[in-house]
């Protein structure tokens, strides 16, 4: 199975996709080599998607008028709520989704602070 999604930076041009390399479905894996190949393929795709997410944090740092609005507790809870709502139907355990996204959000906020400070001085 191959999944792809357009990258935002390329929406005005010809669509570019995040492709996931060919792999054996988890249910069909017969060896740890197949499992590792699948995990590695997904990790490469996730890195590309996370890099795009980081670029949105760069945009937020550019757009926000004041450093005091970089950390937004209400937005954090909104994001986590949306992730948990999507996790169930996708088959992702909330015990994985919530802490992973909370850490991702924390690190993205730190990146946004760094970008805000670097671009304002």
Q: Give this prediction's pTM.
A: 0.84
pLDDT confidence bin for 91, thresholds 50/70/90: very high
Residue owning tokens 């996370």: 50
10 Å CB burial of residue 112 (0-12, 13-18, 19+) is: buried
Position 12 pLDDT exceeds 70? no
CA dist 103 and 35 (Å) reads: 25
14-53 per-position pLDDT tens digit: 556 899 999 999 999 999 999 999 999 999 999 999 999 9
CB atoms within 10 A of CB 61: 20
Residue owning tokens 């209400």: 74
Position 107 pLDDT exceeds 70? yes
Residues 61, 69, 47, 120, Cα dihedral to 10°: 20
What residue spans of 1-121 are helical by DSSP H?
A: 32-63, 73-90, 94-120
């Amino acid at each position: 199975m191959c999944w792809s999604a357009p990258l935002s930076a390329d929406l005005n041009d010809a669509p570019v996709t995040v492709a996931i390399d060919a792999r054996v479905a988890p249910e069909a894996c017969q060896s740890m080599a197949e499992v590792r190949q699948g995990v590695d393929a997904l990790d490469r795709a996730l890195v590309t998607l996370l890099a795009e997410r980081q670029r949105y944090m760069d945009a937020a740092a550019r757009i926000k008028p004041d450093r005091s609005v970089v950390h937004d507790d209400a937005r954090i809870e909104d994001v986590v709520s949306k992730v948990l709502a999507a996790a169930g139907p996708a088959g992702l355990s909330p015990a994985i989704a919530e802490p992973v996204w909370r850490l991702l959000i924390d690190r993205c906020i730190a990146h946004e602070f760094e970008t805000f400070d670097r671009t304002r001085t």
